[in-house]
């Protein structure tokens, strides 16, 4: 059994069947990519995994436990962290302050802005945040305004903010969308580094096939809300249905 088991998940938006009988099994400590054309249901599926949406029918098990009906923060506490399509950081805060937020949240169960101004008494949080920035190669940027960073660095920070919660499953929704090629390659390297350094499972929704084939060990192709095929990257590359549905051939 996989660390993540999605069984017969259906989700409708009014008359639109966004997900139809989705089955997906993600094996522990692998990188599993979910690809498919725009509107295939990829983000909807991800939102069903993190409690942002509740499927109409079906089940979602993480490490054997149902996530359905739990709130997003409870699912996060179970060990699932997610990175959205658009970076979600506090632009007006420094890189270091941003990194401290999830560490405070995890330690205290909540985060209050005042916590940031009392850093003298918060050495443990500060040290953890600095340590994480070092492992991300961002220590030299720690006093920078987050808004001033490149798209790639914002993404790097955001991924680090997720990692500081020690997830067992990291979910990424098009992490390289809108990035220049150099930032995309840096993100690929970062995800490889994370995979090498930790016991972590990564499920990545991605449009860029260069990213998919650089990272994924398994690939599920979604088309019109349902899995079309699931296989290794080598098999997926040559699959006629995939070329037709996804690559438009
Ligand atoms: P993808 O991420 O693969 O591009 P989405 O999961 O975002 O696809 O969307 C799947 C389908 O569901 C699309 O047709 C989209 O317009 C529709 N959809 C997504 N979210 C909503 C929503 N909140 N309300 C209505 N329709 C939605
Ligand atoms: Mg999407």
pLDDT in tens, 150-169: 988 999 999 999 999 899 99
pLDDT at position 119, please? 59
| Six-digit token string for 166 | 């020690």
> Which atom in ligand 1 lies closest to the alpha carbon of residue 19?
10
CATH architecture for residues 4-88+151-245 = 3-Layer(aba) Sandwich (3.40)
Nearest-ligand number for the alpha carbon of 177: 2
**CB-neighbour burial class of residue 232 (10 A; exposed 0-12, middle 13-18, buried 19+):** exposed
Q: Are 162 and 106 in contact (CB under 8 A)?
A: no
Instruction: Report the nearest-CA residue for atom 17 of ligand 1.
Output: 18
Which residue from 50, 67, 147, 217 is spatially nearest to 58, judged by alpha carbons?
Answer: 67
Instruction: Report the nearest-CA residue for atom 19 of ligand 1.
Output: 44
The pTM (predicted TM-score) of the whole model is 0.92
Q: Where are the domains of the chain?
A: 4-88+151-245, 93-144
Q: How far apart are CA 183 and CA 198, in angstroms?
A: 22
Ligand 1 pocket list (CB less than 6 A):
13, 16, 18, 36, 38-44
Distance 49 CA to ligand 2 centre (A): 14
ipTM score above 0.95? yes
| DSSP character string of 162-191 | HHTT--SEEEEESTTTT--HHHHHHHHHHH
pLDDT in tens, 61-93: 999 999 999 988 889 889 999 886 566 789 999
pLDDT at position 23, please? 98
Distance 41 CA to ligand 1 centre (A): 6
Whole-angstrom CA distances from 166 to 15, 81, 199 are 39, 8, 10
pLDDT at position 120 over 70: no
């Amino acid at each position: 059994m996989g660390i993540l088991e999605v069984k017969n998940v259906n989700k409708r938006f009014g008359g639109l069947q966004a997900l139809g009988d989705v089955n997906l099994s993600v094996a522990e400590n692998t990188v599993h990519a979910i690809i498919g054309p725009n509107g295939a249901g990829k983000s909807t599926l991800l939102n069903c995994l993190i409690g942002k949406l509740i499927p109409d029918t079906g089940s979602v098990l993480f490490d054997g436990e149902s996530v359905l009906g739990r709130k997003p923060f409870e699912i996060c506490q179970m060990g699932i962290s997610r990175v959205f399509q658009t970076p979600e950081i506090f632009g007006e805060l420094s890189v270091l302050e941003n990194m401290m937020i999830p560490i405070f949240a995890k330690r205290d169960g909540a985060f209050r802005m005042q916590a940031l101004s009392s850093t003298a008494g918060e050495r443990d949080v500060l040290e953890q945040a600095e340590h994480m920035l070092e492992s991300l190669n961002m220590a030299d940027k720690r006093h920078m305004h987050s808004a001033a960073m490149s798209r790639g660095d914002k993404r790097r920070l955001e991924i680090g903010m997720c990692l500081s919660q020690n997830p067992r499953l990291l979910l990424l929704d098009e992490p390289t969308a809108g990035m220049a090629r150099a930032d995309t390659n840096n993100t690929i390297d970062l995800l490889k580094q994370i995979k090498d350094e930790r016991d972590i499972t990564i499920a990545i929704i991605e449009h860029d096939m260069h990213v998919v084939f650089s990272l994924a060990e398994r690939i599920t192709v979604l088309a019109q809300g349902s899995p079309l095929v699931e296989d290794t990257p080598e098999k997926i590359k040559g699959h006629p249905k995939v070329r037709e549905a996804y690559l438009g051939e």
